[in-house]
């Protein structure tokens, strides 16, 4: 059963049509039935499938046969649509074994599956997937997601009552998606093939196909034994969560935060808070976490990745770092699908201490203080003086936060209620905050050996998890934000060198805003990926650039569609749009006024007409005045900006 919500993947790129052709190219035996439901696309890139109604087709050696012509225009992210398809397929094409493929966008544990172009701003959440499978009344050998980001522990637990195995991707899938021809042929040649062997065949073909078609793309796909997961994971998962909570309770929040910060993250720019669970457990390095990692590895029967992705071990999980507003909706989903209470308690505790650390921060919410201070020539500290210091500062800031009664800035919910926040958990570690609080007043540039440097104590550097160069252009009315890059250098004393050559990334001679997203390194292999915000023929996108061993000077891979989550979807589209000669590109940038306010996103330079070729280089920012600063991120996800280097 192939549940094919074509959406813009089909309407713009013909990706569903391409996969149907791959199915038709297989040597399909008479005792293998491939039933496909189509829908969800404003346009199909073939002359057969209708965009006016959902339809059902049978894929066989004889071709593509229409078996249900007019089902009505139904939302493909409505669980009733999926369960009806499952019931129909089982009743009309009974079999000894069943497989379900869910084809479309994916958003991981938070957003679930699917984006229907006809019914936007909706998706099939994990609890709704469970409802659809339960009402479908079919026991599956295998359920797979030809969609992004669905290889999560939460997804596996939802599928477990209804399937023996799951196949899914931890990362965003390339546009080609799964390669269907050879594994369908293998199934037809031996319909008794073990599900594990069939899954391995599917995964191998996928990774090889991605390497052949888009070698710079990252690919990862995993096969999980859901029966083994049911028998072994719950107890180990609860022990892992309980021991992690104990670290936080024992004032060892930093250990958990550092373990998370060092863990492989997926769909970074989407801020879905999804990290590799095995890698996280390894980084925590407790007895319980190491045992849990072993249990997970045992359940993962096969996992393959391309060479340019590291620490993708096969299963990810939601963990609330950075954007805490996502925690409330996730906890509600956990209640619906029955995730162990110990894990919910764990992430609530972590997020509460994280919120407390943000409340007592002397960091700033934006770089404006630094930029405006730089105009007057003074070294800018990241926080104003309060008139008190030490533990008094922490106590004052905590009391102000807790007594204010409006926690909407943390929870992201209107009304200001505390919701999931554990207020006692925030209040209790006041001494911990004081001992583990970054001192923004130390952000002062000094000179050493004829170099400008930022010198911090080892204890202060130990509180910093991420550091990025941030460059702004002064256009005479405000500041153009050129983005963030992981470019930095230390001297022999461990001081950050605060020198800047006045250059920034350019595409075909156009200075652009560039944001580094991922940096995968293993032995001598590396792959650094970044994004450039733009409009491509009027469509909001990120132009994706990769630097790796094969293309050390960079390569433009294509454009990732960016959706308005309020009106379209929070899921992530697999694949990239090609940028062809003649396409119109408007590069974008964030803009800040001299009044200290974020203004809006603006065009950066004139509209550019693509040539089909790209030259990536660093160019001088020209006659524009610039300010270069470093953005530091501490263990609570507070942001600090150093004084600026001007030119």
Read off the pLDDT of each residue in 535-556 and give the average, rounded to a whole number.
Answer: 95
Local structure of 555: helix, strand or coil: strand
- pLDDT digits 0-9 by tens, 247-306: 999 989 999 999 999 999 999 988 899 999 999 999 999 999 999 999 999 999 999 999
* Average pLDDT rounded to a whole number, residues 308-322: 93
Is pTM, for the whole model, over 0.85? Answer: yes
Per-residue tokens: 558: 């294509």
Give the DSSP letter of residue 376: T
Instruction: Give the side-chain half-sphere CA count within 13 A for 165.
Output: 21
pLDDT (average), residues 500-513: 96
Q: What is the pLDDT of residue 361?
A: 83
pLDDT above 90 (res 575) = no
Q: What is the pLDDT of residues 593-639, one digit of tens each?
A: 888 778 788 999 999 999 999 999 999 997 778 999 999 999 999 99
Instruction: Give the per-residue pLDDT at 384.
Output: 39
Q: Identify which of 137-151, 375-389, 399-413 has the greatest average pLDDT.
A: 137-151
Token reading at 261: 């910060």
Paired residues of 235 in beta bridges: none
Q: For the chain, how are helix, strand and coil distributed in percent, rounded to 5?
A: 35, 30, 40
How far apart CA 200 and CA 152 sit, in angstroms, is 19
Query: Taking all residues of the chain, what is their mean pLDDT, rounded to a whole number?
Result: 92
Q: Which class for 63: exposed (0-12), middle (13-18), buried (19 or more C-beta within 10 A)?
A: exposed
Q: Compute how many other C-beta atoms are within 10 angstroms of the C-beta atom of residue 624.
A: 15
552-572 pLDDT, tens per residue?
Answer: 999 999 999 999 877 789 899
Q: 337 burial class (0-12, 13-18, 19+ CB within 10 angstroms)? A: middle
Question: For residue 57, what are the β-bridge partners?
Answer: 36, 66
pLDDT at 396 over 70: yes
The gap from C-alpha 576 to its chain's centroid, in whole angstroms, comes to 15
Question: For the purposes of burial, counting CB atoms within 10 Å of the CB of 418, is it exposed (0-12), middle (13-18) or buried (19 or more)?
Answer: middle
| pLDDT attached to residue 283 | 97
Residue 14: closest CA among 171, 175, 178 = 175
Average pLDDT (477-497) is 94
Which pair of structure tokens corresponds to residue 373?
């201070």
| pLDDT of 381 over the 50 cut | no
Q: What is the rounded distance in angstroms from the CA atom of residue 398 to the CA atom of residue 391?
A: 10
Angle at 111 between CA 51 and CA 240, to 5 degrees: 150
The string over 493-526, giving b where at least 16 C-beta atoms fall within 10 Å of a residue's C-beta and e elsewhere, is eebbebebeeebbbbeeebbbbbbbbebeeeeee
CB half-sphere exposure, 228, CA atoms < 13 A: 14
**End-to-end CA gap in the chain:** 61
Q: Where are the beta strands (DSSP E) in 539-638?
A: 539-548, 555-561, 584-593, 598-603, 608-609, 616-620, 625-634
632 contacts: CB under 8 Å, gap ≥ 6: 438, 443, 464, 466, 467, 639, 640, 641, 642
Provide the token pair at 490: 């230390």
Question: CA-to-CA distance for 623 and 626, rounded, in angstroms?
Answer: 9
Burial 271-301 (b: 16+ CB within 10 A, else e): ebbbbbbbbbbbbbebebbeebbebbeebbb
């Amino acid at each position: 059963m192939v549940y094919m919500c074509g959406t813009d993947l089909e309407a713009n790129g013909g990706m569903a049509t391409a996969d149907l052709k791959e199915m038709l190219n297989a040597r399909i035996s008479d005792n293998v039935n491939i039933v496909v439901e189509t829908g969800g696309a404003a346009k199909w890139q073939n002359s057969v499938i209708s965009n006016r109604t959902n339809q059902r087709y049978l894929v066989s050696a004889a071709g593509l046969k229409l078996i249900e012509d007019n089902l009505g225009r139904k939302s493909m992210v409505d669980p009733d649509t999926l369960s009806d398809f499952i019931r129909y397929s089982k009743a009309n094409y009974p079999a000894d074994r069943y497989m379900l493929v869910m084809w479309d966008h994916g958003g991981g544990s938070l957003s679930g599956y699917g984006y229907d172009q006809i019914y936007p701003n909706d998706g099939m959440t994990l609890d709704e997937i469970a409802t659809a499978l339960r009402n479908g009344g079919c026991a599956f050998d295998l359920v797979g997601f030809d969609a992004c980001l669905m290889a999560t522990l939460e997804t596996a637990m939802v599928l477990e009552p209804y399937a023996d195995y799951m196949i899914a991707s931890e990362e965003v899938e390339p546009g080609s998606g799964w390669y269907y021809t050879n594994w369908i042929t293998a199934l037809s040649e031996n319909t008794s093939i073990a599900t594990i062997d069939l899954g391995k065949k599917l995964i191998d073909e996928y990774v090889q196909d991605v390497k052949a078609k888009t070698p710079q793309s990252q690919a990862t796909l995993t096969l999980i034994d859901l029966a083994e997961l049911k028998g072994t994971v719950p107890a180990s998962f609860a022990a892992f969560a309980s021991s992690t909570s104990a670290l936080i309770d024992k004032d060892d929040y930093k250990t958990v935060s550092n373990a998370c910060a060092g863990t492989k993250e997926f769909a970074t720019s989407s801020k879905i808070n999804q990290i590799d669970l095995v890698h996280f457990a390894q980084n925590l390095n407790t007895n319980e976490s190491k045992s849990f990692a072993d249990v997970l590895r045992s359940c993962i029967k096969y996992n393959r990745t391309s060479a340019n992705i590291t620490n993708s071990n096969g299963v990810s999980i939601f963990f609330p770092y950075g954007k805490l507003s996502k925690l409330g909706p996730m906890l509600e989903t956990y209640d619906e699908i029955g995730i162990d209470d110990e894990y919910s308690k764990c992430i609530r505790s972590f997020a509460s201490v994280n919120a407390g650390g943000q409340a007592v921060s002397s960091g700033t919410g934006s770089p404006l203080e630094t930029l405006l201070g730089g105009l007057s020539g003074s070294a800018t500290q990241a926080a104003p003086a309060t008139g008190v210091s030490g533990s008094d500062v922490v106590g004052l800031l905590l009391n102000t936060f807790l007594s204010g009664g409006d926690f909407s800035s943390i929870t992201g919910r209107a009304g200001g209620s505390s919701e999931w926040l554990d207020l006692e958990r925030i209040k209790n570690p006041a001494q911990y905050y004081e001992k583990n609080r970054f001192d923004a007043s130390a952000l002062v540039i000094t000179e050493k050996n004829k170099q400008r440097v930022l010198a911090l104590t080892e204890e202060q550097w130990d509180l910093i998890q991420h550091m990025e160069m941030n460059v702004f252009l002064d256009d005479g009315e405000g500041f153009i934000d050129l983005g963030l890059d992981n470019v930095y250098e230390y001297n022999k004393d461990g001081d950050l060198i605060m020198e800047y050559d006045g250059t920034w990334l350019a595409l075909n001679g156009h200075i652009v805003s560039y944001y580094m997203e991922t940096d995968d390194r293993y032995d001598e292999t590396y792959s650094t990926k970044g994004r450039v915000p733009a409009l491509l023929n009027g469509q909001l996108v990120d132009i994706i650039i990769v630097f790796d061993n094969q293309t050390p000077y960079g390569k433009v891979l294509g454009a990732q569609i960016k959706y308005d989550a309020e009106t379209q979807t929070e899921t992530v589209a697999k694949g990239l749009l090609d940028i062809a000669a003649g396409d119109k590109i408007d590069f974008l940038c964030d803009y800040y006024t001299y009044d200290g306010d974020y203004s809006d996103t603006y065009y950066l330079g004139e509209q550019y007409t693509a040539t089909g070729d790209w030259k990536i280089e660093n160019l001088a920012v020209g006659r524009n005045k610039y300010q270069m600063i470093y953005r530091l991120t501490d263990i609570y996800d507070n942001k600090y900006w150093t004084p600026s280097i001007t030119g």
